[in-house]
């Protein structure tokens, strides 16, 4: 089964919650770019192809012993949710093989214990994430664009904890309600270009993507990957040619895997 990558089409971050996490309003979009995951019962759990501790953690919560094979295609630690997607897909596949599979709500709750964005990968279509990001609501958005992903050369991912700490130091949550309202207004209009920019991370390469023809460009999640949305695949290909000296690139599209 394909475990799709995701981008955050918008990420608005609020104050710290009582549980220590931050309040979020975000828009998740799955992509055709994805890892390949196979899961089958085994005498003991082991992971082949790519060792991913979040997959082990997820399956330990579900119970049972499993053999997992991962063919990795999503860049690691890039802001595309590859580990969370692998965990969710492994959960789905293993759960389907249980004598008494968990119902959807229980599987969602288990996935949320693994990570705030893991439940998204159990859903179909773009989702509005609120709370800590795990409270999901299906949204209707255009899906007829092409995505160019750019992973800058020489840029490494900062830890998520460090990114949030820097956000708190600069009092990034100020004005959260207004930005969240702007996000919802853009969703209501279906205008992806009107979505507010990522609160956690920025990149000058977003400007380069817009100059190359993207109607929206931003950092996904905590970065460092930057995406551009283009009207056509040809437009994205031309931008890729113009920018391929800046880092590794992928061209992909929105996906409906579930």
Whether residue 132 lies inside any domain: the answer is yes
Which CATH number covers residue 51? 3.30.230.10
End-to-end Cα separation, the chain, in angstroms: 10
SS3 109: helix
Whether residue 85 lies inside any domain: the answer is yes
Which CATH number covers residue 167? 3.30.70.890
Whether residue 6 lies inside any domain: the answer is yes
Residue 157's pLDDT is 77
Identify whether residues 187 and 97 lie together within a single domain: no
> Are 30 and 127 spatial neighbours (Cβ–Cβ below 8 Å)?
no
Domain end, chosen from 89, 106, 138, is at 138
168: its two tokens: 């708190």
Residue 258's pLDDT is 54
Residue 155's pLDDT is 84
How many structural domains does the chain have?
2
Domain that holds residue 78: 2-138
Whether residue 57 lies inside any domain: the answer is yes
Residue 158's pLDDT is 80
Identify whether residues 41 and 166 lie together within a single domain: no
Identify whether residues 7 and 108 lie together within a single domain: yes
Identify whether residues 90 and 171 lie together within a single domain: no
Which positions are catalytic?
A: 6, 117
Distance CA 104, CA 119 (A): 10
Identify whether residues 42 and 157 lie together within a single domain: no
Residue 4's pLDDT is 97
Number of other residues whose CB lies within 10 A of the CB of residue 178: 11
Dihedral, 207, 131, 258, 47 alpha carbons, nearest 10:
90
Whether residue 258 lies inside any domain: the answer is no
Identify whether residues 72 and 183 lie together within a single domain: no
Identify whether residues 10 and 90 lie together within a single domain: yes
SS3 254: strand
Identify whether residues 125 and 163 lie together within a single domain: no
Distances from the Cα of 141 to the Cα of 72, 82, 209, 218, angstroms: 28, 22, 21, 17
Q: What is the mean pLDDT of each run of 10 residues along the chain (258 residues)?
A: 96 95 96 97 94 91 96 94 96 97 97 96 95 95 96 86 92 96 95 96 96 98 96 98 96 83
Candidates 128, 123, 132; CA nearest to 140 is: 128
């Amino acid at each position: 089964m394909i475990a799709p990558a995701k981008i955050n089409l918008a990420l608005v971050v609020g104050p710290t919650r009582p549980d220590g996490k931050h309040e979020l309003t975000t828009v998740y979009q799955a992509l055709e770019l994805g890892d390949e995951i196979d899961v089958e019962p085994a005498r003991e759990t082991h992971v082949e192809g790519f060792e991913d501790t979040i997959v082990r953690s997820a399956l330990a919560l579900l119970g049972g012993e499993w053999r997992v094979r991962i063919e990795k295609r999503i860049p690691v630690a890039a802001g595309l949710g590859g580990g969370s997607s692998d965990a969710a897909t492994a959960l789905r596949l293993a759960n389907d093989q249980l004598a008494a599979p968990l119902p959807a709500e229980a599987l969602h709750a288990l996935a949320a214990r693994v990570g705030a964005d893991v439940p998204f990968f159990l859903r179909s279509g773009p989702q509005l994430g609120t709370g800590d990001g795990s409270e999901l609501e299906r949204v209707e958005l255009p899906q007829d664009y092409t995505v160019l992903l750019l992973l800058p050369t020489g840029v490494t991912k900062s830890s998520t904890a460090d990114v949030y700490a820097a956000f708190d130091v600069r009092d990034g949550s100020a004005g959260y309600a207004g930005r969240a309202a702007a996000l919802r207004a853009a969703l209501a209009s279906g205008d992806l270009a009107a979505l507010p920019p990522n609160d956690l991370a920025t990149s000058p390469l977003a400007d380069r993507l817009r100059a190359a023809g993207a109607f929206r460009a931003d950092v996904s999640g905590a970065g460092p990957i930057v995406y551009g949305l283009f009207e056509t695949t040809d437009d994205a290909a031309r931008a890729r040619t113009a920018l391929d000296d800046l880092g590794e690139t992928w061209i992909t599209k929105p996906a409906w895997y579930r």
